[in-house]
């Protein structure tokens, strides 16, 4: 990506969006943040995913549009209403942006869409890469619809990539943002039997990988954003204890997780062993490929 490129980002207030925006601006790029309220700053432009509205004037001159918007999967109990919010916030938003992109006289070079390793469902101990098909269940179904919603951009010849992100290791938010206080207090422990695989990625590597996709003309379609060595929840628990110098004596029973989290507990207890084949093949190098390194990096960044 050339210096001083103009890039539009939806979901810029989220964990990954904030970090990506900081990184792009630090390197001299102009970032337009798509917001759902009336713009309050010069770098904001309005969009409304549910109403399928995008201020296309703000996209003129953009070399890339990055779509990271979506309701938090673990933010609320999965009622029928919230499951609809999870789906609609992703599918409708992606469709609106894809339509906006192709409506421009000069579309951006790349449309980079957020997605998730939830696409693969529960893989058990089986390792999967981008060649694997979708799994069964609510999250795989959402991911399939989410990615399909970008079809207008793909069909128009815009390079379209889907960043299938794993569990982001960060203190600033996401699932790991909830784990750090518990482990610091000595209350952390494995979840269920702890044998389920967690495909993690440090926040630093997540942002670096997104930028790598933006800059690599050969990357289109699904790209897994996960560290090359997935670990089990039991191994995560041990690593958190080592890095934070805290005991990890309190396993959370499966029954308690199901009671507390409802249907979302199946995602927490499920196993996803996902490999970043396309990132590695394209020459990307992880700064923090191992779980201890990723946790330590989150403590200082």
285 inside domain = yes
How far out from the chain centre does Cα 299 lie?
Answer: 20
Phi/psi region, residue 262 (left: phi>0; alpha: psi -120 to 50; beta: rest), is left
What is the spatial distance between Cα 227 and Cα 169, in angstroms, rounded to a whole number? Answer: 11
What is the spatial distance between Cα 109 and Cα 125, in angstroms, rounded to a whole number? Answer: 38
pLDDT of residue 256: 59
Q: Where are the alpha helices (DSSP H) in the chain?
A: 15-26, 80-103, 138-148, 151-155, 174-184, 203-215, 233-244, 254-261, 265-269, 277-281, 291-300
**CB under 8 Å to 39, separation ≥6 — which residues?**
45, 46
pLDDT of residue 104: 97
Find, among 73, 120, 98, the residue nearest to 263 by Cα.
Answer: 73
118 inside domain = yes
Q: What is the pLDDT of residues 9-43, one digit of tens each?
A: 999 999 999 999 999 999 999 999 999 999 999 99
Mean pLDDT of 150-165: 98
241 inside domain = yes
64 inside domain = yes
Mean pLDDT of 58-69: 97
Q: Is 99 exposed, middle or buried (0-12, 13-18, 19+ CB in 10 A)?
A: middle
Find, among 61, 12, 47, 55, the residue nearest to 207 by Cα.
Answer: 12
Tokens of 286: 């992880």
pLDDT of residue 1: 65
Task: Report the CATH number at residue 46.
Answer: 3.40.50.720
pLDDT of residue 254: 66
pLDDT band for 265, please (50, 70, 90 cuts): low
1 inside domain = no
Mean pLDDT of 170-198: 88
175 inside domain = yes
10 Å Cβ neighbour count for 287?
11
Mean pLDDT of 151-158: 97
Place of tokens 């815009």: 158
Mean pLDDT of 162-177: 92
Note down the domain range covering 295.
6-300
DSSP state of 51: T
Residues recorded for the chain: 301
Tokens of 136: 């069964």
154 inside domain = yes
Q: What is the mean pLDDT of the chain?
A: 92
Domain count of the fold of the chain? 1
pLDDT of residue 4: 81
- SS3 (DSSP) at 231: strand
């Amino acid at each position: 990506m050339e210096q001083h490129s103009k890039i539009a980002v939806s979901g810029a207030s989220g964990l990954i969006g904030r970090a990506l925006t900081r990184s792009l601006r630090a390197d001299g790029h102009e970032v337009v943040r798509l917001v759902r309220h009336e713009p309050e700053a010069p770098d904001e432009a309005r969009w409304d995913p549910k109403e399928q509205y995008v201020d296309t004037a703000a996209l003129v001159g953009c070399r890339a549009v990055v779509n990271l918007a979506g309701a938090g999967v673990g933010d609320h109990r999965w009622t029928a209403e919230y499951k609809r919010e999870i789906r609609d916030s992703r599918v409708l938003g992606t469709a609106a942006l894809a339509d906006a992109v192709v409506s421009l006289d000069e579309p951006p070079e790349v449309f980079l869409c957020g997605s998730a390793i939830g696409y693969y469902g529960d893989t058990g101990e089986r390792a999967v890469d981008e060649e694997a098909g979708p799994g069964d269940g609510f999250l795989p179904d959402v991911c399939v619809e989410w990615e399909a919603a970008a079809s207008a951009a793909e069909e128009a010849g815009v390079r379209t990539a889907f960043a299938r992100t794993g569990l982001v290791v960060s203190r600033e938010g996401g699932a790991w943002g909830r784990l750090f206080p518990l482990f610091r207090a000595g209350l952390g422990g494995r979840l269920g039997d702890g044998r389920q695989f967690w495909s993690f990625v440090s926040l630093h590597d997540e942002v670096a990988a997104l930028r790598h996709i933006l800059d690599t003309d050969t990357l289109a379609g699904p790209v897994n954003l996960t560290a090359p060595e997935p670990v089990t929840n039991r191994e995560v628990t041990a690593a958190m204890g080592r890095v934070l110098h805290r005991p990890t004596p309190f396993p959370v029973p499966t029954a308690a997780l199901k009671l507390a989290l409802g249907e979302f507990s199946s995602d927490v207890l499920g196993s996803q062993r996902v490999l970043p084949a396309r990132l590695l093949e394209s020459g990307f190098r992880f700064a923090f490929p191992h779980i201890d390194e990723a946790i330590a990096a989150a403590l200082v960044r």
